Structure 1
Amino acid sequence: MRHALYLPPFGELADPGVLGELAVQAEEAGFEGVFLWDHVVRPKHAGLEVCDPWIALAAIAERTERVTIGTRITPLSRRRPHDVARQAIALDRLSGGRFVLGVGLGGDNGGELSKLGEETDARTRAEMLDESLELLGQLWSGETVTHDGPHYRVDGLRFVSGPVRIPIWVAAQSVKPGPLRRAARFDGLCPETTPDGLRAMLAEIERQRGCLEHYEVAVGGRPGDDPEPFREAGATWWLVTLPEITTVKEAMDAINRSGPPSPGQ
């Protein structure tokens, strides 16, 4: 199991330079990944500073050498797929192939979607997510893309000169067939569940894929939580998840206190 730091880019952490420095410290402490929440506003905390995670990931990519970086998760229904495709390519190149795109439905927490005029119907957002994922694959294929779907359109454009391969990890919260079918088509799972729930989810994904070889499973837990039950259930990543509002000092304390176990432990 690999260990990563999962940072909320809000408040004192809403600064790309600060997040870049925390990523450097995490890499030096032995973490193998640094992931960011992807939000544009936190309505429940009026006036809370929020950093664009994609800009911050660029800063992190520039300042680190080894850690895997990415979003967990990007709600694709509130982003244009061609913009995500282009930004992901840039981060993949800037990081030397270390970027992972985590995707999901997202939610209207405190009005995060509705107050900005975004789609709030879960079924429609799921349709947009699936269509966006289909389009990302086409745009990264190196082929000319013609797509006329219910939500997005591409009229005969070739987006890149050759195929681009960027891992996609898909969020799911239960054994409902739709999210697990979606997750099974891609490279990894970002579950929100218990160890027993994870076993059930992975059993269904394995049934659909045929095997779980090279399939990543990124589970989050608070500093001090025991990752072992999730490792036994099939998780391949443990993301040390900091609270929504975290100070720089608290983040540094978590890095120093929650680093991966030493070899042999």
Structure 2
Amino acid sequence: MRYAVSIPPFTDVTTVLALATEAEAAGWDGVFLWDHLQWSHPVEPHDPWVLLGAAAVQTERVLLGTLVTPLSRRRPWVVAKQMVTLDHLSNGRAVLGVGLGSPVDKDFTDLGDEGDARVRAEMLDESLDLIDRLWTGPTDFAGGHFTVQADFLPRPVQQPRPPVWVAGVMPNRRPLQRARRWDGIVPIGKGETALPAELADYLGRLEQPAPADWDVVAHWVEGVPAQEYADAGATWLVLSANPKTDADWVGSIRSRLTSLR
């Protein structure tokens, strides 16, 4: 089992970066940032990619990435370039977490982006295929949403590419099958977290067995032993906090950083 903290970059940037360095010092294995343009007033989101670049040069060991980036409102070729840059800055510690994203109004339709979940799922699948090609060689791509001719250099540090984790809202099967084609699943239950029994049931819906190195990135319900998640199939446990329900969410994360394991 590996352990990560998922930080909403909704406070001052120095605090976000301090949490990242404190997590590494306390022995955590990954630091991930939420990816939102707007959220719930008066929260003030910062851009996760800029902050991840800063975290890359202030840390040495932890994996770094987003949980999660909604690719349908991002140009996939820009994400491909951002990820390669992060991979080089971190010396091969970058992970791309993706999903459909929410809230649909503030992060999509209010900004003129696609709101229909079915269309956004199509764009997500096409974006992942395109990003994978851009990372690995010359690309001549024509899909339903994107047309690209490119040969992006440099290539990623990680070969053949950085890992891709795909979020899926339980108990939906389609995102689970999408994640099976990549490197891991980030199961999202009610209120983000899921109990081990729910996780095990969800993983049991896989149509084909997952590879041995496939990651299951579960949000950790406080007080539930890590071993129960491991028995259910989790390979990562993620600590986070919700600013909507916890006024002192920074303090809540910080207090748990020192209680790893």
| TM-score > 0.5, shorter chain as reference | yes
The 1:109–1:153 alpha-carbon spacing in structure 2 relative to 1, beyond 3 Å, is closer
Corresponding residue for residue 196 of structure 1? 197
The residue type equivalent to 2:197 in the other structure is D
How far has the Cα of 1:180 moved from its partner? Answer: 1.8
Residues 1:49 and 2:50 are matched in the alignment: no
Residue equivalent to 1:67: 62
TM-score under structure 2 length normalisation = 0.88
Shift of 1:224: 4.3
Q: After the TM superposition, which parts of structure 1 deviate over 3 Å for at least 4 consecutive aligned residues?
A: 161-164, 222-228, 245-251
Q: After superposing the two structures, state which structure 1 stretch, 242-251 or 168-177, moved more.
A: 242-251
Counterpart-to-counterpart distance in 1, 2:219 and 2:62: 17
Spell out the pairing of 1:8-23 with structure 2 (5 A cutoff).
8-10=8-10, 13-15=11-13, 17-23=14-20
Give the structure 2 partner of residue 254 of structure 1. Answer: 256
Structure 1 unaligned spans of 5+: none
CA–CA distance in 1 between the matches of 2:74 and 2:89?
21
Provide the aligned C-alpha RMSD in A: 2.0
Per the normalisation by structure 1, the TM-score is: 0.87
Cα deviation digits, residues 142-174 of structure 1 (max 9, x gap)? 2x211121211103x211355651100001123
Greater relative contact order (Cα 8 A, min sep 6): structure 1 or 2?
A: 1
Q: 1:219 corresponds to which residue? A: 218
Q: Does residue 30 in structure 1 map to residue 27 in structure 2? A: yes
Distance 1:49 1:83, change over 3 A: same
Q: Say which SS state the counterpart of residue 19 (structure 1) adopts.
A: helix
The alignment of Structure 1 onto Structure 2 pairs a total of residues equal to 250
* Closer, same or farther: CA 222–200 of 1 in aligned 2, 3 Å: closer
- Give the CA deviation at 1:175: 4.3
For residues 222 and 257 of structure 2, the distance between their equivalents in structure 1, rounded to whole angstroms, comes to: 9
Distance 1:108 1:184 in 2: 25
Q: Measured at CA, do residues 204 and 184 of structure 1 come closer, stay the same or move farther in structure 2, by a change above 3 Å?
A: same
Distance 2:224 2:73 in 1: 32
Q: Name the amino acid aligned to 1:8.
A: P
1:134-173, aligned counterparts within 5 Å? 134-142=129-137, 144-155=138-149, 157-160=150-153, 162=155, 164-173=160-169
Task: Give the SS at the match of 1:56.
Answer: helix
The structure-2 alpha-carbon separation of the partners of 1:139 and 1:226, relative to structure 1 and needing over 3 Å to count, comes to same
Q: 2:112 aligns with which of 85, 109, 117?
A: 117
Q: For 1:203 and 1:58, how far apart are their aligned partners in 2?
A: 37
After superposition, give the CA deviation of every residue in 1:168-209 in whole Å (9 maximum; x if it has no partner): 00011234332122100000110013423322332343x42x
1:62 is displaced (CA, Å) by: 0.7
Matched letter for residue 203 of structure 1: G
| Unaligned 5+ runs, structure 2 | none
